[in-house]
Structure formats: C-alpha cells, structure tokens
Amino acid sequence: MLVRLRGLLGEFELRPRTIAESTGREFLHLDSSQVARMLRSALADLPDYRLRALLHDSEDPDARLDEAGLVDRLVRLIARGDLVLLRELHAGISPSEPEPPEPEDEDEVIERLDWIEVLIEDEAHQPVPYIAYKMVLPDGSTRTGTTNKLGIVRYDRIPSGTCQFTLVEVDTKAWKQV
C-alpha cells in the first residue's frame, strides 16, 4: 500500500519500508519538523481509507485518524523507519538543495570561460616591463614568463577561480598588491 501525496514540495509517495521499491525514485531524507510541515499541507484532502490501509501495513492498525494526532504519528513512523518518503526523480523540488542549473549548450560554455590580468608598476606608477612571474591557474596548470613591455600579464579563456601569482625573482618585502 502506498499513498501519493501532493504538497508544497511537489508529488511524493509515503510507503511502508517493507515494500519500498525505489526504482526511478529517490528517498527524501528530511528532519521531523520538515516532514510534519510537508504532511500537514498534503493530508488535507486525502481519503481516509488510504491512510488507514497505510497505517495498517505499518503495523499500527489501531491508529485513529483523528486529525490532531495523525501527523505526529506519521512523523514518528517515518523517524522509526517503518514508513518512507520517496519522490520520483526530477518530479519535484528538493527542500535542501537548489535546483540544478539547466544543461548548458556549447556556446554558453565558451562565454563562461574567464580571464585574468596583472599589471606590475613601480612606485611612480610606471609599468615594469620584462619582470619574471609564475601563475598557477585555477585548474592547477602553471604559466611562467615575463611581463610585456607595458608591464602586463594577461590570460584569457581560463577556468574561473583563484590564481596563485608570484614574482619569482623578487623578495616578499619588495612588492605588494595595490
């Protein structure tokens, strides 16, 4: 026996654990307060007999369906593992995880490629050309070279993230980030 529920978080099933067949579905792992909140919104227009049958299958045949205690009993049974909540894959919204982004087409991937530029200047704000550097890109690859005649290092079409930049021949006290 299973009960289909429709709540704020979409459609899901409430089943006894013993018959839980999860193909094409995923278990919802929620804390008690989340379960209670979800059940209250879902049980409003559910036929009594289905819940009675479900509770019978869950070895709680004497359970009464008075509204006051129903949600609490279901929560207890779910917490004990006698009942499980399942959701059809991609059929609803996870309460704890954001919706995954839409798959990107190739053009969008190219637009998301990133860049970085570093200017080395002196204390009179004049560019420092041909000074040696090392840069580790976000993907772990290493680039080495010297600044150009305008004192600039630039890389385009690199992954987004953080780069590690070093002036390899300069002491730590002899340069700073402006």
Helix/strand/coil for 41:
helix
Which residue of 20, 36, 53, 170 would you call a contact of other proteins, by CB under 8 A? 170
Indicate the residue type of 16. Answer: P
Which residue of 23, 45, 81, 173 would you call a contact of other proteins, by CB under 8 A? 173
Which H or E run includes 156? strand 152-158
Q: Angle CA(46)–CA(51)–CA(56) in degrees, nearest 5? A: 175
Cβ-based nearer residue to other proteins, 44 or 168: 168
Cβ-based nearer residue to other proteins, 48 or 139: 139
Place of tokens 């190739």: 106
Selected range binding other proteins among 23-31, 53-61, 79-87, 165-173, rule: CB under 8 A: 165-173
Q: Is 22 in the site for other proteins (CB under 8 A)?
A: no
Q: Is 177 in the site for other proteins (CB under 8 A)?
A: yes
Q: Is 142 in the site for other proteins (CB under 8 A)?
A: no
Indicate the residue type of 154. Answer: R
**Contact indicator for 168, 134 with CB cutoff of 8 Å:** yes
DSSP class of residue 8 equals T
CB of residue 154 vs other proteins: minimum separation in angstroms? 9
Task: Report the site for other proteins in 93-132 (rule: CB under 8 A).
Answer: 114-124, 126, 128, 131
Report the chain's C-alpha Rg in angstroms. 30
User: Contacts with other proteins: how many residues (CB under 8 A)?
Assistant: 36
Q: Is 143 in the site for other proteins (CB under 8 A)?
A: no
Q: Is 146 in the site for other proteins (CB under 8 A)?
A: no
Indicate the residue type of 102. Answer: E
Task: For residues 79 and 25, give the distance between their C-alpha atoms in angstroms, rounded to a whole number.
Answer: 19
Residues that bind other proteins (CB under 8 A): 114-124, 126, 128, 131, 138, 158-178
